[in-house]
Amino acid sequence: MSSKFLFAALGLGFMLASCGNQKSEYDRFYEQDYKDSVSEAVANAPEPAPGTRTPSAPAQQQPAQEVHPGSKLIAGSDCTACHSNQQKLVGPAYVEVAAKYEENDKNREYLIGKILEGGAGVWGQVPMPPHPNLNKDDAGKMVDYILSLNN
């Protein structure tokens, strides 16, 4: 969150707070001043870098009651640092993984092993780190969720 944005938000608050009051020269001067700095801050706000999580990101996920248990586990783990559903980050997008692997026991076992033990060479030379603290059950739920994205 940039300090410019914070400043813009404060400026906006000031403007709103001063609405409805009878305005003095002083108010009008500062209102204009704040208005200028708000539009300037908005115009100059940097585009978020690709993969940056913005406050609106959770809203794009499914409604709370439909969240897949595997999706919750992924959200609570470090996976999100390197993976997203739709976009390649450090690792492949989950939709790409889902497109590559048919949903069957063999692929499930393989992907569980990959999450637990890590490895490289399938999508590039960057390695997927091992996850020794995850259990097989939870890794299985994550795989089920990832493979469910193939539709």
Which DSSP category does 29 fall into?
H
DSSP per-residue string spanning 53-110: PPTTGGGGSPPGGG--HHHHHHHTSGGGGTB-SSSBSSS--HHHHHHHS-SSHHHHHH
- Which two tokens mark 84? 């997203």
Choose between 37 and 113: whose C-beta lies nearer to ligand HEC.
113
Choose between 31 and 113: whose C-beta lies nearer to ligand HEC.
113
CB of 92 to ligand HEC, least distance (A): 6
CB of 44 to ligand HEC, least distance (A): 32
Choose between 41 and 74: whose C-beta lies nearer to ligand HEC.
74
Asked if 141 and 90 touch (Cβ cutoff 8 Å), the reply is no
Amino acid at 93: A
Choose between 27 and 78: whose C-beta lies nearer to ligand HEC.
78
Euclidean distance between CA atoms 91 and 103, whole angstroms: 20
CB of 101 to ligand HEC, least distance (A): 7
Binding-site residue numbers for heme c are 79, 83, 128
Q: Which residues bind ligand HEC (CB under 6 A)?
A: 74, 77-79, 81-83, 90-92, 97, 111, 114-115, 119-124, 126, 128-129, 131, 142, 146
